[in-house]
Amino acid sequence: MSETRPASLVGLRRLIFSADVPLARQRARFAAAVAGRAAPGVTREALVLGGVPVERWSPPGAHRDRTVLYVHGGGYCLGSPVMGRALASHLAVAWAAPVVAPHYRLAPEHPCPAAVEDVAAVLAALATRVVLALADSAGAGALLAATAARPGQLAAQVLVSPWLDLARQLAPDLAARDALVSPGWLAACARHYAREPRDPLASPLRGPPRALPPTLVVGTDDDLVAPDAAALARWPGVELHEWPGQWHDFALTPGASVAGAQARDAIVAFGSRVLGWGGGLSG
């Protein structure tokens, strides 16, 4: 049996993740809704890497030779690094690694491949570091597309509720079960971002399967884009861990559910296992 879902999800779907709401209003409401707190002791600074504005969150005692790259979701049309601050800053502390999070360009003002280009530019600027990437939703698509031409750039990656096929027909049963994202909103975002949704730059699953670095996919069976996670799990190097009865991007708010906290701990354990970064976040 799934957990009781936060009542706020209904409001988020109606007021933000709806094609009936003007995009400017979606962006403003989303910015206010996701203003979470960073983990204690983590400092924030604004930088420019590879010509792209980024935020860097640094924990006490961070190792200089390692970095977490966080690529946010938001359907390529809204969102910013702040949406993953709660999870990413906790990972920064657990792994003693700074987090770099790009403010990549958003659609429709900057359609595909703008997001991909910005993520690739930041990765190139981090070339001397050991990089573990964390990306959610559309950010996972931008990350996979950005690394397609440079397959050895990441040491490992964690993809949360990845949206990887903008041309996929959305399943009606999942549309009814996902408490956060509406099919109309997702389809509108795809139109804003991709002139050709079957282009692998917009939909990495449309490209040929390739060997990936050690990859953990965090998902749920009630996610509107759950088929994308299942399809990616058939690629070499990918392990899929699903929590039943959750919502799209549930792992970004580990304090909102038991499953979110479990997903956070599984991500920490993954980094420890594949890179030896250690840690062990709980509670």
Distances (CA, A) of 116 to 14, 76, 211: 29, 10, 19
Point out the catalytic residue in the list 136, 165, 223, 265.
223
Specify whether 223 is catalytic: yes
User: Do you find a cis peptide bond into 108, omega within 30 degrees of 0?
Assistant: yes
Point out the catalytic residue in the list 58, 137, 182, 257.
137
Specify whether 137 is catalytic: yes
CA proximity to 29, closest of 7, 13, 44, 6: 13
Identify any residues that bridge with 219 across adjacent strands, giving them in sequence order: 242
CB 56 within 8 Å of CB 122: no
Q: Which strands make up the sheet holding 52-58, listed edge to edge?
A: 43-49, 52-58, 99-102, 66-71, 130-136, 156-160, 215-219, 238-242
DSSP state of 256: G
Distance, in Å, from the CA atom of 250 to the CA atom of 161, rounded to the nearest integer, reads 8
The CA-CA-CA angle for residues 148, 125, 160, to 5°, reads 50
Point out the catalytic residue in the list 248, 249, 257, 265.
248
CA proximity to 142, closest of 172, 169, 111: 111
- 133 contacts: CB under 8 Å, gap ≥ 6: 68, 69, 70, 71, 143, 154, 156, 157, 158
Q: Is the dihedral of CA 257, 100, 141, 187 positive or negative?
A: positive
Specify whether 265 is catalytic: no
Distance, in Å, from the CA atom of 64 to the CA atom of 236, rounded to the nearest integer, reads 30
Instruction: Provide the phi-psi class of 175: left if phi over 0, else alpha when psi is between -120 and 50, else beta.
Output: alpha
Residues marked active site are found at: 137, 223, 248
